[in-house]
Chain A
Amino acid sequence: MPSGSSDALITANGLVKRFGDFVAVDGIDVEVRRGESFGFLGPNGAGKSSTMRMIGCVSPVTDGHLSIFGLDPARDGKQIRARMGVVPQLDQLDEQLTVQDNMVIYGRYFDIPRDECRRRTAELLEFVQLSDRAESRIEPLSGGMKRRVTIARSLINEPELLLLDEPTTGLDPQARHVLWDRLYRLKQQGVTLVLTTHYMDEAEQLCDRLVVMDGGRIVAQGSPRELITTHSTREVLELRYPAGTNDERSGDVLGIGDRSEVLPDRVLIYADNGEAALAEVHARGSYPESALVRRSSLEDVFLRLTGRTLVD
């Protein structure tokens, strides 16, 4: 388990968060190294956001050990917060104000002089491709644009560590790709990223390493690739039978591939060779309405580990 190596930016040992009797985070061990992109993956209520709020030094640790930049959140919260940026789950922008005013106000919270705030604002808006919106109020902007303003704003103090709580939830695919691209660039510039997501594709796109959380605990960890090889097969065959008949038809495919999962809308067959598995299904005289062979994803890992799909 985490030993606290010299380049560790965040170290958590036996970290616990309780709200009354409810245990939100149930003793997790995590180590995030400088320069990496680290993800907390899990469904709603898994304890991701509570963990993030403890790392963000706003929510006190109930039990266990947590250190960020080698500092103690309980004692040095102010110093830690001064060195990181936070992109919250819900945008916290003043809709009545312009993009620029939102940025400057936020920079002032960090005691950055006004002129410097304006200089950085111009730079950051260029980075998130919103330079032409500096004078626009927030209210008419699209969801994706607001998200980009929030990210630009979180960078105003030139943070070493950026916390992103579900950065692309609720955005359309195109807006998500724009955001991913910007976050990837930040990582290239050496900013350490810590994010939560319940999107498998997001975790695969952005994270070097991740932990899968469920019910306040870590159920698996590793790189996306490692998790897929350890907990899934190379390929997945998805079969769709006429509505409502999945259960009875699942008998048809019993024993094909490594294992199978019956979901309400489809049957999944885990196999290293999906085409061969499909050929076997056909050979047994079973003809689903549709069949699709795809690469295994973190979704499959999650399903394997928890027995549940990750739907919002």
Chain B
Amino acid sequence: MSARRPLPRWADVALLPVLNLLLALIVFSIFVLLIGQDPIAALGIMINGAFGYGEGIGFTLHFATSFVFTGLCVAVAAHAGLFNIGGDGQAYVAGLGAIAVGLLLDQTSWLLVLPLSILASMIVGAAWAFIPGYLQAKRGSHVVITTIMFNFIASALMAYLLVYVLKPVGVQEPSTANVVNAGKIPQLRQFLPFFGNAPLNLTIVFAIAALFGVYFLLWRTKFGYALRTLGHNPTASTYAGISNSRMIIYVMMISGALAGMVAVNEVLGVQARIVIDVTAGYGFVGIAVALMGRNHPIGIGLAAVLFGALYQGGLDLQFYMPAITRDMIVVIQALVIMFTGAMEGLLRPGLETAFMLYFPEQKAEAQKRETVGTES
């Protein structure tokens, strides 16, 4: 039991994630070598696919838009000490709100559809997250368990609705009717040919706004203060007169609302309808994004772009290197999630030791941030 020596802040937020990412890529390279392909070339294709040309960038940012929402969804809950794993289900169900507005107002203007569909999907997402929030706050049912379960319920509910209720007559595939006019959120390629055929749409503006909004909410408002108090120390928040149960419900609803915005991006921005699994597991990627981004909007923005690049680069890799199948792409995504998310602390002890050995001046700085209150 020796004193913990934390890393300097820049190493914690920048160096460690980069090293974790490199580790994931190294392990991936081994897999690529094992199937007889050139890992350097593969990485080259991925990077070029994600950032090398307009359409690639457009796809990367489109994916990143969804990841920002799901990342923030996880982060807001995490700051209150809640682990919302239900982002995926919340986003999926929120699609109902988006498509309802899209279909109802299809003959009006996108200027009307965009804000109202965002509002509607936020409300539906919040409502879906309210239930686990309520159960946690009032009944003590652990939110991790209930949100996982609610993903399955969402999935089953949506499948039922798509197959039996919402599917227009004569359509073979389980899906809703299409929006055709104003219900489609304008894609940026309509104004900027640079983006080729990428589905990047105006929702990205709301993603950026959400990053700022969450920052403001958490660190610049009284509500955010109370939320973080609950997250750090629930006893202290009771002491401070904060209603923990009410706060848990509010936080879950905000979290669900953020996840709900994914639906606008995917349903009205790309598909123009709800299909089965329209959210494609983005809710789960949000967990990795939030972990890698240290639950901070800046980090989440960067991590979302990284995961967007992985998705888009992966698609290109699959296309140009047929030996690398769809499954291999899943492998690299999983590796990155594993190394930057679940095993995020893998290199930490070693890095801390290295810092102590090679940067004695950092030691002092790190020490300053270290707890001395344990002395008795």
Bind each other: no
